[in-house]
């Protein structure tokens, strides 16, 4: 059973700032692939990011959290791997 994907406002803005092809690819990866098994496909983050997960899509990272009770995957932000952890 797949998880319902919820896009945080910041993540939506992040997608809008990307070129259309990159944004489409990320949407497809999250909605079609990551939402099926977010715990095993993503990697848990550590230290100050504990409780969050990341998923790799080329040079971009998708930072998300999971609500297991509601079966929701909440996408918090999307960004280039070199910049994503600095915010």
Candidates 2, 1, 23, 25; CA nearest to 13 is: 23
Model pLDDT, residue 85: 79
- Cα gap 62→53, rounded to integer Å: 8
The average confidence (pLDDT) of the chain is: 93
Separation in Å, CA 74 to CA 8, 19, 21, 32, 62: 7, 22, 22, 15, 10
* Annotated domain spans of the chain: 4-86
pLDDT per residue as tens digits for the range 18-50 = 999 999 999 999 999 999 999 999 999 999 999
CATH fold for domain 4-86: YaeB-like fold (3.30.2310)
> For 70, which DSSP code?
T
Report the predicted TM-score, pTM, of the whole model to 2 decimal places: 0.92
pLDDT of residue 87 exceeding 80, the answer is: no
Model pLDDT, residue 61: 96
Helix (H/G/I), strand (E/B), else coil: 36: coil
């Amino acid at each position: 059973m797949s998880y319902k994907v919820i896009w945080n406002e910041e993540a939506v803005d992040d997608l809008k700032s990307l070129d259309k092809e990159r944004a489409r690819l990320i949407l497809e990866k999250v909605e079609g692939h990551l939402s099926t098994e977010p715990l095993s496909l993503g990697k848990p983050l550590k230290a100050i990011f504990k409780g969050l997960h990341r998923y790799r899509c080329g040079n971009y990272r998708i930072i998300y959290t999971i609500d297991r009770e509601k079966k929701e995957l909440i996408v918090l932000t999307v960004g280039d791997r070199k910049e994503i952890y600095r915010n």
